[in-house]
Amino acid sequence: MKLTRQQRQFGHRAMIYAGAALASVICLFPFYYALITSLRGGQDLFRVAYLPDAWHWGNYITALMENGIARSLLNSILVAGVTVGLCLLVSITAAFALARISFRGRKYLLFTILCVSMFPQVAVLSGMFELVRFLGLYDSLGALVLSYATFSLPFTVWVLTTFMKSIPQELEEAAIVDGAGTWTIISRIFAPIMGPSLVTTGLLAFIGAWNEFMFALTFVISSGKRTVPVAIGMLQGASQFELPWGRLWPPR
């Protein structure tokens, strides 16, 4: 039996929707399971169930109040926010210089910036530790801001430089004729045009700073200065061999 055109189109759409639904289930299931795990009691964690028998909201209260996760949330927000602001301020000025000012070695500098972003954290951990200790930032949130900005800047500079090159030169020339200075051109002309790229790079820098664990564990030892990933990693149950799975998920 030969299918009509409408039947073939319906079949194609059905396959697309089925594939999208399957991909959504695969992507969202880990988050769903984490959510229901946070609402289970200790004994329920050893049973495979996709809905908890009872909703244990006390896990959230215990994690936020008794384990100091609320303080760690504030630390993470502060560190990530300052990191984003610092990265965007430095990146947009560096991107202006790399995209608009001609100087010898500009292409090599851009290539070097790209190569620096490929270094893993563990490769520079000892060097960053010595720098943090030399600057007197050990066991402070400033050490995290410095280390996070160091790893976020190469990517943000590269992205903003590429975007700034696409802005017409005539806009800058018209502003110069009107007497605008360099900072005025960057802040009042380029920044509004580059809004989408600034938001994108800022979000990526924020997510990277929020989820970072190695530097936060190495450079900060005081419990009141820990960020969320480290605070969650330090959670303990009734004994040193017990992991409180119900309390591990609420803060995230």
Identify the CA nearest to 156 among candidates 217, 122, 113: 113
Rounded to whole angstroms, how far apart are CA atoms 225 and 145?
13
Q: Are 163 and 194 in contact (CB under 8 A)?
A: yes
> 128 and 117 in contact (C-beta within 8 Å)?
no
Looking at residue 48, what is its pLDDT?
65
pLDDT of residue 111: 85
Say if residues 80 and 206 touch (Cβ distance below 8 Å): yes
Task: Quote the pTM value.
Answer: 0.79
Structure tokens at 153: 């800047």
Helix (H, G, I), strand (E, B) or coil at 214: helix
Question: Token pair of 41, please?
Answer: 């009691």
What is the reported pLDDT for 121?
84
Supply 23's token pair: 């991909």
Q: Which domains does the chain have, with CATH numbers?
A: 5-61 (no CATH), 67-235 (1.10.3720.10)
pLDDT along the chain (252 residues), means of 10: 70 89 92 79 63 71 72 93 95 90 83 83 88 92 93 91 88 86 88 91 94 92 88 64 50 47
Q: How far apart are CA 208 and CA 84, in angstroms?
A: 10
